[in-house]
């Protein structure tokens, strides 16, 4: 059986998961090292909890793309009738 070609790093789930994880690391760091400002949130450390939630969701997206990768088909039939393709422009008549 031949090796299947997958989307890899170009899978949108990797991009979304990576961005969410980066923001999660930043917010978690702010929740740990910065002033928690619990008087503004009514008790909980919002940066810490939001950062941890973003980390979990971001890592979930990356794990999802690794466990169920998008397989790119080897051969794709050419599209002959594409309704979204613009119609050809009319050529001006000679003499007008």
pLDDT at 80 over 90: no
Q: 59 exposed, middle or buried (CB, 10 Å; 0-12, 13-18, 19+)? A: middle
Cα radius of gyration (the chain): 25
With bands split at pLDDT 50, 70 and 90, how would you rate the model's confidence at 9? Answer: confident
Contact 52, 24 (CB under 8 A): yes
With bands split at pLDDT 50, 70 and 90, how would you rate the model's confidence at 46? Answer: very high
DSSP letters spanning 23-80: HHHHHHHHHHHS---HHHHTSS-HHHHHHHHHHHHHHHHHHHHHHSPPBPPS--PPPS
pTM reported for the whole predicted model: 0.70
Q: How far is CA 58 from the centre of its chain?
A: 10
């Amino acid at each position: 059986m031949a090796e299947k070609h997958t989307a890899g790093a170009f899978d949108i789930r990797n991009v979304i998961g990576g961005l969410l994880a980066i923001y999660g690391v930043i917010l978690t760091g702010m929740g740990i090292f910065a002033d928690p400002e619990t008087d503004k949130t009514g008790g909980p450390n919002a940066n810490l909890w939001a950062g941890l939630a973003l980390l979990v969701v971001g890592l979930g997206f990356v794990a999802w793309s690794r466990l169920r990768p998008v397989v790119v088909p080897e051969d794709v039939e050419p599209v002959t009738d594409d309704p979204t393709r613009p119609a050809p422009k009319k050529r001006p008549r000679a003499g007008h």
